[in-house]
Amino acid sequence: MKRDFLTINDLSRSEVLSLFDETAGLKAKRGKENSTLLARRTIGMLFDKPSTRTRVSFEAGVYELGGSVVFLHRSETQLSRNEPISHAARVLSSYVHALVIRTYDQAELEEMAKYASIPIINALTDMYHPCQILSDMFTVWEKKGNLQDLKVAWIGDGNNMAQSWIKAAALMGFELALAVPEGYDPSSEILEQARAASEKPITITRDPIEAIAGAEVINTDVWASMGQENEAEVRVEAFRKFQINSKLLAQAGPEAIVLHCLPAHLGEEITAEVLEGPQSVAFEQAGNKLHAQKALLKFLIQGTQC
Ligand code: CP
Ligand code: NVA
């Protein structure tokens, strides 16, 4: 049966851990592998929002595994002229072996997955960014040796990345402390479900110092996500006290690492000093998307019909 990757919960904890091993192996032998895993296979990519990292890392990863890519911007497809998703899903399933989708509405992705006979991979929606959380967790695992013993802090918007970290905390069993301004909380449904399934606390505070205290991993993301550009000015005001700068970082301790999925808005959610500083792993984190997504593709596509 095909496997989709719509949220991080489409994997079990043990599958995530074995993907970390696979990712580390792929990273170590990059350039020396002679992979034919995706030979004669084509991966479709259907994007409705801009992307640098996710698009290029998926495309490069597919080529490195011996496959081909068809990249489609949604505006150039008949979906932009109201072709039903249920039709597009079945048609595309007869051409490509997996479909990587970046769009707004998670429900659209779920509908695509329902009608497609190939794996559907979420490359970001307004709700989740599971490919990113997979490589972010790999980065933490690589740097710290495990996840379960850590306190992870999220400072900023309760957005698609925050919601992905919430699900990940419950799945992998680490503590998560979110500092989010009032009015910008993550979905209460996602939060409650995660809390019910979690071994460790998942907390929300309005105080970034409280969230960051004792954290080994600190995360942030833009204050206005794609699609929220017209809220940017209001958000700058609301989020002002939620910036990761040297003063706030000092509350965490020198061993703490700082993650940012990028792109960053310097001087807003993070200062250049912190992003370029010794505790930041943001650029290595971006590099790890290539290896983690290759591991994911191998996992999802192995065993599917050519
Ligand atoms: N982090 C991330 O998904 O970056 P892109 O928007 O450039 O793909
Ligand atoms: N929260 C951001 C993540 C970008 C990778 C957005 O959705 O724009």
Q: Could you tell me which residues come within 8 angstroms of residue 39 by beta carbon, excluding any fewer than 6 positions away?
A: 66, 67
List ligand 2's pocket residues with C-beta within 6 A: 124, 159-161, 221-222, 225-226, 261
Ligand 2 centre distance from Cα of residue 260 (Å): 10
Specify the ligand 2 atom closest to the Cα of 124: 7
CB 152 within 8 A of CB 169: yes
Q: Per the domain annotation, does 33 fall within a domain?
A: yes
Rounded Cα distance between 204 and 63, Å, is 42
User: CA dist 3 to 10, 22, 218, Å?
Assistant: 8, 18, 31
CB 235 within 8 A of CB 180: no
Query: Do 232 and 276 belong to one domain?
Result: yes
Q: Per the domain annotation, does 104 fall within a domain?
A: yes
What pLDDT is attached to residue 137? 98
Q: Per the domain annotation, does 50 fall within a domain?
A: yes
pLDDT in tens, 177-202: 999 999 999 999 999 999 999 999 99
What pLDDT is attached to residue 175? 98
Ligand 2 centre distance from Cα of residue 303 (Å): 32
Q: Per the domain annotation, does 138 fall within a domain?
A: yes
Q: Domain range holding 109?
A: 8-128+289-305
Q: Per the domain annotation, does 76 fall within a domain?
A: yes
What pLDDT is attached to residue 46? 98
Query: Do 248 and 172 belong to one domain?
Result: yes
Regions of the chain with pLDDT less than 50: none
User: How many other C-beta atoms lie within 10 A of the C-beta of residue 119?
Assistant: 24
What pLDDT is attached to residue 306? 55
Entry pTM: 0.97
Query: Do 277 and 197 belong to one domain?
Result: yes
Give me the phi and psi of 101, to 5 degrees please: -120, 130
Rounded Cα distance between 251 and 153, Å, is 12
Query: Do 137 and 247 belong to one domain?
Result: yes
Rg of the chain on CA atoms, in Å? 19
Q: Hunting for tokens 């993550």 — which residue is that? A: 186
3-state SS track over 142-157: HHHCCCCCCEEEEECC
Ligand 1 centre distance from Cα of residue 53 (Å): 5
Q: Per the domain annotation, does 1 fall within a domain?
A: no
Number of domains composing the chain? 2
CB 31 within 8 A of CB 25: no
Query: Do 156 and 255 belong to one domain?
Result: yes
What pLDDT is attached to residue 35? 81
DSSP reduced 3-state for 12: coil
- Residue 93's CATH number: 3.40.50.1370
Query: Do 190 and 220 belong to one domain?
Result: yes
Query: Do 105 and 138 belong to one domain?
Result: no
Q: Per the domain annotation, does 21 fall within a domain?
A: yes
Closest CA to 125 of 48, 224, 10: 48
Query: Do 228 and 265 belong to one domain?
Result: yes
Query: Do 18 and 138 belong to one domain?
Result: no
Closest CA to 244 of 283, 215, 201, 203: 215
> What residue owns the CA closest to ligand 2's atom 3?
225
Query: Do 103 and 197 belong to one domain?
Result: no
Ligand 1 centre distance from Cα of residue 51 (Å): 5
> What residue owns the CA closest to ligand 1's atom 1?
261
Query: Do 268 and 152 belong to one domain?
Result: yes
Query: Do 214 and 281 belong to one domain?
Result: yes
What pLDDT is attached to residue 36? 87
CB 186 within 8 A of CB 163: yes
Rounded Cα distance between 229 and 54, Å, is 20
Q: Per the domain annotation, does 3 fall within a domain?
A: no
State the amino acid at position 49 in one-letter form. K
